[in-house]
Amino acid sequence: MNSTLWQDIIAGAAATMLVAVALMLVGRILIRVGAGRLAARKVPHALCGVFVALAAYQLSSLAVAVGVLILTAICLGVAVERRLLPDILEGSRERDYGLVGFAIGVLVAALLFWSDRTAIAAGVLVLGLADAAAALIGCRFGRHRVAVANAVRSLEGSGGFVVVAFSIALTVTLVEYKLNIAAALAISTFLALTTASIELLVLPAADNLLITPWVALLLHLGHNLSPGGALRWLLAAIVAYSAVPVMVRLRWLDLPGAIGAALVTASAIGLGGWSWIAPVATFFVMTSAITAYRRAKRAGSQRGLSQVMVNGVLPVMIPVIGYALTRNQIWMVAYIGGIAASTADSWASEIGRFSSRPPISLRTRRRVPGGTSGAVSGLGLAATWLGGLAIGVIGALVGSATLIVVGIAAGLAGSLLDSVLGATVQGRFRCPSCHEALEEPRHCGVHTELSNGYRWIDNDVVNACANATGMGVALAVFGMVSL
């Protein structure tokens, strides 16, 4: 065993020991001096980020790094399950597993970007320092709360995250990558805003999993950008996030949904290019406009974060990241397919409600009230075709004419699968208080009773399956047409 490998093993072991000390001792010390549970959790979190970032610079063997990170993730998982870190945890297993997510996120970044360890180290620092700053600032000064799933965060905390993340990114791009000030400012702005959005919007503990690889990705790509590319990143961030108050004011989306849409839009433009914005913009703008038009007739029609994430993460974020890493145009085909499925299904649901005749349920083959999942109407089917065609035409304008056929096929396949799943396996419930049939697990302040399908399969799960199907059909059709 050569000396370099021994040095890597020693450095990895030292980093692991320092992380263990930070978690086991620092938290307990802070609790004893009355610092509070939040500080006792976030200060060790920040120290872990510093120690792991330093280790990333010391290690030269990917195998050693992977081994250390896998072992760390396993040990942390055991520690969480056996409650070996009681003083620094809040008692929520979902949140506690953020420790495991921390290790797995670094592992993913290492596997993808090991040749650029500066990017990995910066990602860990952003996670450790900016996330801790967001929590502490939000707790002390947070007035404008944002509720997402089971977590409540604040805009003030997100502002603190932006400042710290921007500072780290600016330092790295200027000192380590030797970029000019204009490019460094552009990349740092894009990185800070998009990463803060991820921290604000994802479930507790998921931010620990996602932030390190996301920051590493952006820095890995960013330091090789041309001046025009850096300007595009800056404009993408400005355009996307400037639209947030407009979308909220027009009631197209609620605040979390608008921030999520800004994240998706900025990523599409920044990582893919200006041509990537047209399909997703068509979907968001047209669908939101149709929803807003019907708002007077249907309460609660304002779209939220779950719809944005289902129709943005799978069909947009995954393809654009794939394209950014490979520059293979096949990712554009998958993107068009996913957006076509989203658009076709959304237009079928929204426009189909204007039908003068009630739709027919695919499960019972009887007419049911408009808006029932798993039901189809002639007007809805026409809207399905139109939605797929619209995205296909937009794709053809920035790509090849083949994308028109791809859009129609993917839109029809995704929307029809959505209807089939909605009719067969999507959870349907009945309220024990008012006896209304609905799709929500709670109504009238009580848990509803499952009447059909599976409780865990809701509309978002069905939509995700439909979008994935649209992407798969798009790739298959494109392959056949291109032969």
Distance in angstroms (rounded) separating the CA atoms of residues 409 and 414: 9
pLDDT in tens, 72-96: 888 778 877 777 665 455 555 555 6
DSSP 224-286: T--HHHHHHHHHHHHHHHHTHHHHHHTTSB-HHHHHHHHHHHHHIIIII-GGGHHHHHHHHHH
Structure tokens at 241: 């996030």
pLDDT in tens, 19-71: 666 666 666 677 677 666 677 677 777 777 887 887 777 777 888 888 888 88
pLDDT score of 50? 81
pLDDT score of 245? 94
Q: Are residues 284 and 337 in the same domain?
A: yes
Of the given ranges (149-153, 336-340, 389-393), which has the lowest mean pLDDT? 149-153
pLDDT score of 423? 81
Q: Are residues 367 and 459 in the same domain?
A: yes
Q: Are residues 186 and 290 in the same domain?
A: no
Q: Are residues 238 and 272 in the same domain?
A: no
pLDDT, average across residues 185-207:
93
pLDDT score of 264? 94
Domain count, the chain: 2
Helix axes 318-326, 206-222, angle to 10 degrees: 30
Residue 445 has pLDDT above 90, yes or no: no
pLDDT, average across residues 3-28:
62
pLDDT score of 69? 85
pLDDT, average across residues 328-341:
95
pLDDT score of 352? 78
Residue type, 88: I
β-pairing, 428-430 vs 437-438, is antiparallel
Q: Are residues 263 and 411 in the same domain?
A: yes
Asked whether the beta carbons of 360 and 422 are under 8 A apart, the reply is no
Q: Which of 183, 215, 242 is the last residue of a domain?
A: 242
pLDDT in tens, 141-150: 878 888 776 6
pLDDT score of 293? 65
pLDDT score of 274? 92
pLDDT score of 22? 62
Of the given ranges (108-122, 162-176, 231-245, 361-375), which has the lowest mean pLDDT? 361-375
Q: Which of 186, 208, 242 is the last residue of a domain?
A: 242
Q: Are residues 249 and 238 in the same domain?
A: no
CA dihedral 441, 443, 448, 451 (to 10 degrees): -80
Q: Are residues 226 and 250 in the same domain?
A: no
Distance in angstroms (rounded) separating the CA atoms of residues 415 and 72: 43
pLDDT in tens, 110-121: 999 999 999 999
Distance in angstroms (rounded) separating the CA atoms of residues 333 and 354: 32
Percent of the chain with pLDDT over 70: 83
Residue range of the domain that includes 339: 243-483
Q: Are residues 221 and 285 in the same domain?
A: no
Q: Are residues 184 and 266 in the same domain?
A: no
Q: Are residues 318 and 184 in the same domain?
A: no
pLDDT in tens, 301-330: 556 788 888 888 889 999 999 999 999 999
pLDDT score of 51? 77
pLDDT score of 299? 46
Q: Are residues 441 and 314 in the same domain?
A: yes
Residue with tokens 């439909």: 466
pLDDT, average across residues 448-470:
86
pLDDT, average across residues 164-175:
97
pLDDT score of 61? 80
Most confident of 68-82, 393-407, 442-456: 393-407
Of the given ranges (38-42, 233-237, 325-329, 339-343), which has the lowest mean pLDDT? 38-42
pLDDT score of 241? 97
Q: Which of 215, 242, 269 is the last residue of a domain?
A: 242
pLDDT score of 15? 62
pLDDT, average across residues 250-273:
92
Q: Are residues 41 and 159 in the same domain?
A: yes
